[in-house]
């Protein structure tokens, strides 16, 4: 089964990474603000990794709304993922809540994307967290093996192993602020 497998690292200066990618011929799209609300159906510690647990998300951009389901596999960056564009966020949120899910975390970021050798590369400025690079592939295969290959690519851009992040932005915001929704 195809999965979204990604790696992520904190970076001090996105412009330096962007220049390295442009040297490889990458062309970037326009920056897009993404406002993500994650929903869960459990009350245990959000930050404990839970294989095969569904995390639901509503992503709003300037002109589109998406519903997304992620189910982590070997780690948070190795997920079965399904996404569909929707018309009405409020109706979808109502359906999600009827399924027993509740709002857990909100993440706002500005994302700039490019593609390179079958990889989607995102340069992200995340509110309350800072600057990150994320590289992902949609593939079959061992998540950790693919993640190692992806990180070797990041190292060619000057990204250091010590800056690797093993959590999604939602988990990082949760760890920093706790749930940012009232109980």
Tens of pLDDT, residue by residue over 39-78, are 999 877 776 767 888 999 999 999 999 999 999 888 888 8
Any domain includes 160: yes
The rounded distance, in Å, linking the Cα atoms of 37 and 48 is: 19
Please give the biggest Cα pair distance in the chain: 49
pLDDT of amino acid 141: 72
Nearest one of 115, 108, 107 to 29, comparing CA atoms:
115
Any domain includes 67: yes
The rounded distance, in Å, linking the Cα atoms of 119 and 132 is: 16
Any domain includes 46: yes
Domain count for the chain, please give it: 1
Which residue range(s) make up the domain with 48? 3-176
The reply to whether the predicted model has a pTM over 0.75 is yes
Any domain includes 183: no
CATH classification of the domain holding 83:
2.40.320.10
pLDDT of amino acid 49: 64
The rounded distance, in Å, linking the Cα atoms of 59 and 117 is: 26
CA 14 to each of CA 19, 87, 137, 146: distance values in angstroms, whole numbers, following the listed order: 9, 33, 21, 24
pLDDT of amino acid 183: 54
Read off the tokens for 17. 């990474």
Any domain includes 69: yes
Contact by Cβ (8 Å): 108, 33: yes
Q: Tell me which residues of the chain have a pLDDT lower than 70.
A: 47, 49, 180-183
pLDDT of amino acid 52: 81
Please calculate the CA angle 141-145-147 and round it to the nearest 5 degrees.
100
Read off the tokens for 88. 């009405």
Any domain includes 182: no
């Amino acid at each position: 089964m195809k999965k979204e497998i990604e790696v992520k690292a904190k970076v001090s200066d996105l412009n330096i990474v962007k220049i390295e990618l442009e040297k490889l011929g990458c062309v970037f799209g326009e920056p897009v603000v993404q406002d993500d609300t994650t929903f869960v159906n459990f009350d245990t510690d959000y930050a404990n990794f839970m294989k095969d647990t569904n995390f639901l998300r509503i992503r709003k951009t300037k002109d589109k709304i998406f519903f997304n389901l992620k189910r982590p596999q070997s780690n948070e960056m190795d997920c079965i993922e399904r996404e569909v564009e929707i018309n009405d966020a409020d109706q979808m949120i109502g359906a999600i809540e009827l399924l027993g899910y509740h709002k857990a975390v909100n993440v706002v970021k500005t994302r700039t994307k490019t593609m390179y050798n079958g990889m989607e590369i995102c340069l992200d400025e995340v509110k309350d967290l800072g600057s990150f690079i994320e590289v992902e592939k949609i593939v079959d295969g061992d998540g950790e093996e693919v993640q190692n290959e992806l990180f070797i690519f990041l190292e060619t851009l000057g990204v250091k192993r010590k800056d690797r992040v093993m959590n999604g932005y939602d988990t990082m915001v949760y760890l920093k602020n706790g749930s940012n929704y009232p109980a």
